[in-house]
Structures are given as structure tokens and as C-alpha cells.
Amino acid sequence: MRADWSEGATKKKQVGIWDMTMLSKITNDAINDNLKQRFHNGDIYTYISNVLISVNPFKDLGIYTPQVLKSYENKNRMELPPHVYAVAEGAFRNMIAYNESQCVIISGESGAGKTEAAKKIMEYIAAVSSGSSSSIVEIKEMVLATNPLLESFGCAKTLRNNNSSRHGKYLEIQFNAGGEPVGAVITNYLLEKGRVVGQIRNERNFHIFYQFAKAASQKYRDSYGISGPESYLYTSAAGCLDVPNIDDVKDYADTLKAMDVIGITATEQDEIHRMLATILWLGNVQFVENNEGNSEVKDADVTNFIAYMLEVAPEMVNKALVSRTMETSRGGRRGSVYEVPLNLAQAQSTRDGLAKAIYDRLFDWIVARVNKAMQARAEAKHAIGVLDIYGFEIFEQNSFEQLCINYVNEKLQQIFIELTLKSEQEEYVRERIKWEPIDYFNNKVVCDLIEAKRPPGVFAAMNDACATAHADPKAADQSLSQRLGACSHSKHFELYDGNFTVKHYAGDVTYAIPGMTDKNKDQLLRDHLELCKSSGSQFLQGLFPEDLAQDSKKRPPTASDRIKQSANELVAKLMQSQPSYIRTIKPNENKSPSEFHDQRVLHQVKYLGLCENIRVRRAGFAYRQTFDKFVERFYLLSARTSYAGDFIWTGDSKSACVQILKDTDIASDGWQMGTTKVFIRQPEIIWGLESQRERYWHNMAHRIQAAWRRHMAFKNRKAATIQRAWRSKRQAFELVKFREKGDELLGGKKERRTFSICSLRVFNGDYLGVNSRGKQTRGHLVREAAGIGSEPALFSSRIETLVPRAMRSAIPMPRQLVVTRDHICIVEERVVEGLLQHMLSSKAPVSSVRDLAMSPYQDGWTVVHLESQPDLVINCEFKTELLTWLHSLSQGRIRMQVNSTITYNNKNMKQTQLKFVKNEGAKRTSFVKKTVQICSGLPAGTRSKTARDRPRGNAGGAPRQQQQQQRVQPAGAATRVNGNNAHGYPQQQQQQQWSQPVAAPRPGDGGGAQGGAAAVSGGRPPMPPAPPPPPAAAPQHPRHKALFDFADTNGGMLSLEAGRIYTILERNDTGWWLGSFNGAEGWVPSNYLSPEPEPEERARQSPAAPVLPRPPAMRNGSAARNGSGGAAAANEERNSMAQLAAALTSRSPNGGTPHQSANAPPRPAVNRYAQEDSDEEEAWE
Ligand SMILES: Nc1ncnc2c1ncn2[C@@H]1O[C@H](COP(=O)(O)OP(=O)(O)O)[C@@H](O)[C@H]1O
Ligand SMILES: [Mg+2]
């Protein structure tokens, strides 16, 4: 992968070589020159392969912005300029990729930039690690808050560094399996507690004392007696109260905020401050010598205040400061206990000892409290540890603290050597890899010189000296001088008068012997322990958990024992993790951003062993991994080892590695196989493999996403189909119920027409399209003429009314009937001078309708009896529906009278009679001289057939999907619903009795269904077919030619005509395919079809027989259908009818339900059935 500088952290040009494994000459000078060049250009970071060299810039370079941080995310090391973020990124990604804990080891001199680097790493990991749950965010915030908190308590201004860490710290961020931080733990190493009681000139105590003294709240000032740092000897004696670039007041606010973030309670904070104040006051305890030469407290007020703060008796404080309890021992048995008065120096040392002990314990308490707060919230799988330890130190006067600090630095150098130089080369030997051996200085001899037991090292000598001369520090120092003589065998050790020099890897350091044994002994005085144990403060007692009754004969561990133990534990811990290294370099001693002191840097370059580091890297291999792990990670990259994401290799892991490397075209000199590991020479190779792997997953993810999207689209489509079907079914169901209500109202008193009981007949209502939106439609003209404004038409239909003639009897004439919620209107249509005109014939309020009178026969004549106005005598094909609407609108008031002679008020309000006679010879209804003749219809009481009356299965065994398909079928025949006949009238609606077989269609007779209908309706010629729909778009579906005729006898199928081309929308292996012709859809038998290679133009084909989709299957058992239901059921029924009417009434003709066209009915699902019904015609005279 190529570096993308445009989005990189910096757009400025890099100078020098940023990975020094590429240096042309490997010498200390060349390294120094390269670092210098880069330092002056503001490029403080440089690699030696995976080791980051960082030179302290001593100025803000603006390279830690969130944008820069983001730019390193998911980038490999070579993609962007060297940066501490790249190291953090590498550690974080490696942890996730290889399931291994990581550690970042930061080493370098004091003030070289270790602590800053550690903070940047934590910031980076907190920023890029996933997880936004509150507990994860909390952990991240806490981890970041530990920095200001522990810096305040654990850092101090030294001559070397204004923010020098005076303790070592290993912070491990714990992650769950998903790479989310779930907890953290800090291990604390040897706080330099001596700093609490005294510092060399121009150094300071720990920051917290200055922060507290300068910025304490009034509450603390009053209750803990706090004033400025100049008031206390512990903070003022070294003559440095302020530090440039350190704002103690602001830092104090940060410290308090950090305490809050970590969850340190207000009470706990009070206790912490109480301890700090006690320490400050302890420093102000002065002693005077009495006549016996023993010390006495100069000012009892101070000790009394300290007693108050410690919640102990003042005498106890006094006693603990000016005397020491001694115990004689005889022959290993306890002797008598007595008190020894202390001289001035001893009393001061005792006072300081108490202050140091309290601070040391307080610091440990804070670390433990922080750890408690950061305890893992979930199971931790891995960790990233960041080691920030005090740096190598050389002062003019070096003491026990420097020895410990430098010893820990030796140990870290050891790890570095172990892992990067020694073990690397040993591994090559072990794995039988060809390489070039490199010489380097192994500092193990120095580590041994300090820590070995046999021959005794420096620490052992100190411990021996403590043991033999425990009572007198001076005698102990002398004893130490003698014992150190045993170390002189080492060429890294020299003993002078009162001093000894250790030749450390980082330089020679001379340590002063005086005071060393005492510092090493580091024993908590029994008097101090007793004092604190006697406190009324639970907090103070908790700081000293030791048991007073413990066996005092056993030598407690010395400070060197403790540092040795924790250093070795640290090494063991670091060795278990995958290390990354940051080696910090200090360019000058003056904290100057421009000074690059060649000799100082050269010295560091030498002792850090950078040359050797580069040589080993060059000779060796950048990457190694066990065969198993390598295969586990990269098996996807070879088709021989993986198939569809599965591991398919049957051989061993080693051969799988070889296969993968070959299949990924890695040059053979780029890798070697060891005995257990594969070695890859350049890091670029491994990055190449990683990016191939990434691509694989990317492609996979892409495929999965595509499949998922397809699946979701399919699901949504199906869901929409089901929803549509359900809506249509529900709507249809209501309308079917409405129709059944009509059956009920007839009450078995009137013979039925076959059309009336047709299973697909539903009460559609607005047959004239009065509710249609179009302005020029007939429906609209009727509406205008009826003068109903925007009132929705609930029912509209063509009718006949009896029109009186002069001197002659009235005759039926065509009219339009419109029923709204309030009115019943009759509109006349006339052609006047070639123009169609509509005019209102009559209009009556619905409220004036008394009842409807009908004959007991199948005719459509109905007399609408009106209050005090001429009755309406109409012949309406949908009289049952009209009755049902009026019944519903009048809340059940309007009912039907049945009589073979009906009396009505004519236009002149004269009572007139209309007679009805049966005439079986009359094929159609005839009207002669106010007598209607009609043949017998279906028996009275015949109930309407609905879909639910039809068998659920179908004779042809059409597949189940058929129903769904039918419901989504486009309303292909819709254009014919209100299509005009030759006279400009809407076509008469045809009907088909579904239960009767339909004759097979003959070519040219307009389709099977029409032919069938003609047979049923008594030989009337079929109506001309509707105009063909516009030519369809180029077919996307296969087209098949019908080999034979096939008639739809069962509904839902598409009739076939031999020789016609049909589009097949869906094929399956049930034997029934979904076919389409001229917009009509239906199931067709697949064995009647043969594939059609050449598409033909649809437009040329004659229109297909209309397909009558089957309505959705209905559930049986409606109370409405059950005419014998009780009063409650009837009421319920009435209500539901009223609701339906209200629902329909509330629809605005111009809004609400979408209208497809002038002819298209307002409710598609319902109209489909209406259209289907009206495809056929029943004529009458
Ligand atoms: N990357 C950096 N950018 C800017 N200033 C830095 C950087 N690293 C260190 N410093 C400066 O150097 C000082 C000492 O750094 P620090 O990390 O405390 O040293 P160490 O921990 O190694 O003793 C810091 O207080 C800061 O002023
Ligand atoms: Mg530091």
C-alpha cells in the first residue's frame, strides 16, 4: 500500500530517513545526524523498524490534534509518518487481530518524554477503541483522569524535568473479546517518598502540595489551617515555589475534577486533604534541645493541631516524635520494652519518617481506590499495558532512590535486549534460520551486579548491612562499605571512600553510601504504627492495616527487596505480552526546543544500542509467527486452504503456510520457514497480506450485504403483497357483509335475479363514478346536475323512471340516480343540439323516504314512497343495494314493502297502481301499461353467493399463490367498467354466474368469459370489447404461445386461446403458471403452453377475455349474514353498517381515496370486483 500523504498527519515535507533500518551507513554518528536533522524540522519521531525513537521537542508541535489522531486509525505503520499514535494503533490492532495482550514499554532519561508519550497512547486507545455504552465511556474517562490525578501526587519538579515522575506506573487497559475497554488496573512502583520531607535546591515537593497550598478552598483553609506553600518547610525549604509553565491553581482544579471522574467521594476527598495538611504541618514541627541533650517539641500548638488532624491524643504525637520505644531481645526471646529519648537529629528524622509514611500510604490508597473504580465491568480477555517509569537519573549526589530508579531502567533495557536482540538471535538459531550474528552489549551483568544474591550484589550487601547494624545508621553505612567490597569483582563496579560507582548501560553513576542503609531499611516505626492505629479516623487506620501484634522478629522486606520483587514481576508481566517500544531521547539539558546537544544525544544513542538495534533488524526478519497462528490468520488468501471461508487444508500447518505464501506470490527470499515459526523478512510483506485479507473480508461483507439487501427487498415486497391482500380482503369483507345485509332486508319475499347472487358481486355504490375527480367525466356532470356540491355519492346508478306522456301512459325512460347522505336525486341526460346535457329531474331528502315498495318477483321496479311529494317509480338494476343504502342511511328506518300491486302518488299526487304479473314466456322484464311482466327468477330467499360459499380448493388445482397474485393484479379491465356504448351511455354491466360452467370461448367472440356470459344471459350478443390498453413496455418476462384453448371455469385463471402469445410472470413446478394477457393476469396450465422465442407486439393482439380474479377467501359465520340474530346482533349490525356508511360518507369526492381515472372506481380493491361484475351485461326493456 502506498503512503497517502494527502490525508496524513502532516503535509509538510519529511526530512532525513524516517525508518533508520534504511540508513545507508549504520553508525552512532549517522543516527545522531539523522535525528538532529529531523528534530530541527519538527519531526521528532523516527522508526527503527517497529521501535519508535522520540526526541523531546520541548514545544507544542500541534501534532496531537483529533484530526491527526483520526488519520492514524486503521493505518499500518508505513502509511503515515512515524508517530506515537502509530505505535498505539499497532498495539491496539495487533491485540484484536492476534488475540494477544500488548504492552508499550517507554524508556529514556528523566525528562526525555516518557510520560507525555504514555498519555498520548492512552488518549489514542480511548479514542479509537469501540463501545459507546456508558460503562465503557466511564472507563475511558477514568483512564484519562488517572493522568492528572497521579501526576499531581506522583510527579514533581526536578532539575531534569518540571514534571518528573517520582514513581513508576504500569497501566493496563483491559478489553473484552470485542476490543472494548472494560476496565483498567495500575501497578505502582516505588514512590520516591523522600521528596515529601526535603528536596535539593530548586526542586519541589510533589505537585499536589503546591496545588493544595495555593488553591485550597476556604473550607480547607479554615479547618485544616492551610495557607500558601511558603508557610510550610516541606514546600519552601528548597527555594522553589513556582515552576514556569505549571499553573498549580489550574492543575488543582484538574486534580479535583479527576477525583470526581474516578468517583472519589467528597468525604474521601476531605480525608485525602486532611492527610496532606497533616504532612505539611508535620514539617513545621520544630525541636529544641533540653538540658539533657534530648529534643523537645518547640511549639506544642503545632503538635496539638496535628493530634487534632490525626484524631489522636496530643501526648501520643509528642511521644512519637521525641522518643522511640526499644525492645531488648535475649537469645532470640523478647526482652523488656523501654523508651529512648531522641536527640535533635533523630527527632527530625522520626518526624520526617512519619510524614513520609503517611504520604506513601496515602499514595498507595489512591492507586488502590483508582483501581477499585476501574475494576473490569465485564470479562477481560486482553490488555494493553503502558509502562511509564521514572527515567534513568544521574545527579551530582545520587542516593538510594537513584540506585532503585536506575536499577529498574536496567531491567527494562534487559527486556529490550532480551526481546529485540538476544532472543531474536537465539530464535534464529533455534529455528535454524540463516542470519548474520550481531554483537551487542548485554546489560544482564549490571542487573546481576545490583540484584544477585550470590555472589551478593549491591542490594544484598545493603540488606546484610541493615541486618547487622540495625540500631545505628552510621554503623550500618560502615557495614555496607565493607560488604560492597564483595562486588568489586565486577568490572561494572568501583568502590571509593564513602561512594561506589556502577557502570550502568546508560552511563556511570556514583552513589553516596551515607544514609543508604537507612533508606533501604525503610521500616515503619512501631511508635508511628501505634500512633496511627490509635486514631479515631477510620481512614487513617485503613492506611496502616498492619497488625500490631505481628512477629517483630521476622525481618520485614526492605525497600530494595520490594523494588527487586516488583521489577521482576513487571518483567514477567511484560514478557507475557507482545511488546512495542518507544525509546525517548532528551536533546538537551535546558528544556530548549531548539538546542540539539550532539554529545548528549550521541551518548543516549550509544547506550540505547540503536546501532545494534538497526543491525539486528536488517539481518533479521521483521515478522515471525507460529505456523498455526499464521495459517489461522491468512488461510483465506489461498484457494487451496480455504473454500467459502472454511479451512479446507488437510495437511499440516507448516505446509499450509508455504502454500499460502506461494499462492499470494511472496518472493521466496522474503520468507523462511523455521522449525515452529514462519519468518517474514520485510514488514511490507505482512502488510500486503493483511490488506489482501482485509479486501477478502470487504468483498465478503459486500456480498453478504448485497444478499441481505436482496433478502430484505424480497421480504418487503412480500410483506407489501400480504398487506395489500389483507387490506383488500378486509375492505371486501365489509362490502360483502353489506351485501349480505341486503339479502336480509329482502327477507325472502322477493325472487332473485341470477346476477344479484353472483359471488363476485359486491355493493360498490358509485356505479356512475360521481365521486370521480375528473372534471369532464360523466360522473362529474351528473354531480353538477344533481346539485350535491361536494357531498359524496354513496350510491349512483343508471335507472329508468316512469315518464308521463301526454294523453298516453307513462313509459320508462333512462335516468341517473344519485343517493347521498341527505338526498336522493334523479338526473336526466339529454342530447340537445348534438350536445349532451344533464339536468335534475327530481330531488328528495332521504329523510322524506317512507319506504321502498317492490314486487315479489325478480324485476328491478321499485317505488320510493316519499312524504308529501310524488313518489319515485324507478327501475333499478341494483335495487337491493339501493334498499340497503337507504336502510343504512336511515339507521334502519326505511324498509321494504312487497306487493304484486304497488300504489304510488304520481306527479300530480294522484294514487296510481303499478302491477306485476308473472309471464314465463317473457325473456326480459317488459313494461306495458303500468304492468310489469316478468318470468320467474331464483326462489325468494336465495342468498347471495360470496367467495366464502365457493369451495376453497379449485378444480384445476391452481396453486395457492394464485390468490395473492390475483389480489395484486392490475385492474386491467377497469377501462371497461364505465366504458361507453354507441349511444354515449355507460356500458351495461354484465354479470356472470360463477357457479355455472362457461362455454369454451370461440375465436372472435370476445373471450371465454364473455362467451360464457352470453350463454347465461339468454343469447344477447356480447358487448364490444374494451379498447386495448396502451402497448406494454418491452416484455421482460418469458412469453409463451397457447397450444390449446383453455377456459377459466373457476375464477382466478386466465383463459387461453390457442395461438395467442401470453406473458408468463411466474413459473413454478406446480403445473400452474401466472400468465398475463392485455393486463389481465391469472393462472394458466403450463402444459398448454410452448415457449415463444420472438417477442411480438402486444398491441396487435385482440383483447383477452377479462380475468375475474377471485376475491380473497372469507371467513364464515358473520352475524350479519345470520338474519335470525338477536336484537343485540341486529343493533351491532346496524351500527357497523352505519359506520361503514359514515366511513364512506366522510370521503371527499376530490380527496381521500385515490381515483385512477374518470372511469376508475374510488376504491381499487372493491372496484375490481365491481368491474368484473360489470363486464357483462344484462339487458332489460
Ligand atoms: N511530545 C512532546 N511534545 C511537546 N513537549 C513534550 C513532549 N514530550 C515531552 N515534552 C516536554 O518535556 C517535558 C518532560 O516530559 P516527560 O514526559 O515528563 O518526561 P519523562 O516522563 O520522560 O521524564 C514535558 O513536561 C513537556 O514539557
Ligand atoms: Mg515521567
Residue 207 binned pLDDT confidence (cut-offs 50, 70, 90): very high
Of all ligands present, the nearest one to the C-alpha of 391 is 1
Q: What is the pLDDT of residues 111-123, one digit of tens each?
A: 999 999 999 999 9
| Mean pLDDT score, 448-469 | 87
* Residue among 87, 152, 161 to mutate when testing ligand 1 (max atoms within 8 A of CB): 161
Give catalytic status of residue 393 as yes or no: yes
- CA atoms of 916 and 754, how far apart (whole Å): 19
Of 381, 418, 388, the C-alpha closest to 405 is 388
Q: pTM of the predicted model, to two decimals?
A: 0.58
Q: pLDDT at position 1138, please?
A: 44
At 682, which amino acid appears? Q
Long-range residue pairs from 505-508, CB within 8 A, at least 24 positions apart, any chain: 505/410, 505/413, 505/441, 505/443, 505/446, 505/607, 505/609, 506/109, 506/392, 506/406, 506/409, 506/413, 506/604, 506/607, 506/608, 507/392, 507/394, 507/603, 507/607
Give catalytic status of residue 164 as yes or no: yes
Of all ligands present, the nearest one to the C-alpha of 161 is 1
Residues with Cβ < 8 Å from 1032, sequence gap 6 or more?
Answer: 1063, 1079, 1098
Of 206, 203, 111, the C-alpha closest to 158 is 203
- State how far Cα 710 lies from the chain centre: 22
Whether 584 is in the pocket of ligand 1, judged by its Cβ within 6 Å, is: yes
Q: Which residue has the cell 370521480?
A: 772
Q: What is the pLDDT of residues 702-734, one digit of tens each?
A: 777 777 777 777 888 888 888 877 776 666 667
Give catalytic status of residue 391 as yes or no: yes
Question: What nine digits make up the cell of 574?
Answer: 511484560
Q: What is the pLDDT of residues 652-682, one digit of tens each?
A: 999 999 999 999 988 888 899 999 999 888 7
Residues with Cβ < 8 Å from 689, sequence gap 6 or more?
Answer: 634, 637, 664, 666
Q: Which residue has the cell 528536596?
A: 199
Tell me: pLDDT of 1171 over 60: no
Give catalytic status of residue 115 as yes or no: yes
* Residue among 52, 58, 166, 204 to mutate when testing ligand 1 (max atoms within 8 A of CB): 58
Whether 154 is in the pocket of ligand 1, judged by its Cβ within 6 Å, is: no
Q: pLDDT at position 772, please?
A: 79
Of all ligands present, the nearest one to the C-alpha of 64 is 1
Give catalytic status of residue 691 as yes or no: no
Whether 158 is in the pocket of ligand 1, judged by its Cβ within 6 Å, is: no
What distance in angstroms lies between residue 841's CA and the mean position of ligand 1's atoms? 102
What distance in angstroms lies between residue 387's CA and the mean position of ligand 2's atoms? 10
Whether 899 is in the pocket of ligand 1, judged by its Cβ within 6 Å, is: no
Q: What is the pLDDT of residues 858-911, one digit of tens each?
A: 888 999 999 888 899 999 888 888 888 899 888 888 888 898 899 998 888 888
Give catalytic status of residue 165 as yes or no: yes
What distance in angstroms lies between residue 448's CA and the mean position of ligand 2's atoms? 26
Q: pLDDT at position 1030, please?
A: 39
Tell me: pLDDT of 503 over 70: yes
Whether 116 is in the pocket of ligand 1, judged by its Cβ within 6 Å, is: yes
- CA atoms of 35 and 20, how far apart (whole Å): 9
Tell me: pLDDT of 375 over 80: yes
Give catalytic status of residue 161 as yes or no: yes
- Whether omega before 57 lies within 30 degrees of 0, making that bond cis, reads no
Whether 501 is in the pocket of ligand 1, judged by its Cβ within 6 Å, is: no
Whether 56 is in the pocket of ligand 1, judged by its Cβ within 6 Å, is: yes
Q: pLDDT at position 331, please?
A: 56
Decide: 1041 and 1061 in contact? Cβ < 8 Å. yes
Q: What is the pLDDT of residues 550-597, one digit of tens each?
A: 655 667 888 999 999 989 998 888 888 889 999 999 999 999 999 999
* Residue among 44, 46, 56 to mutate when testing ligand 1 (max atoms within 8 A of CB): 56
Which H or E run contains 582?
A: strand 578-585
Whether 108 is in the pocket of ligand 1, judged by its Cβ within 6 Å, is: yes
Give the least confident one: 111-115, 253-257, 464-468.
464-468
Average pLDDT, the chain: 79
What 3-state DSSP class applies to 361? helix
Look at ligand 1, atom 6, and give the residue with the nearest C-alpha: 58
Give catalytic status of residue 577 as yes or no: no
Atom of ligand 1 nearest to the CA of 109: 22
Rg of the chain taking only CA atoms, in angstroms: 51
Binding site listing for ATP: 108-115
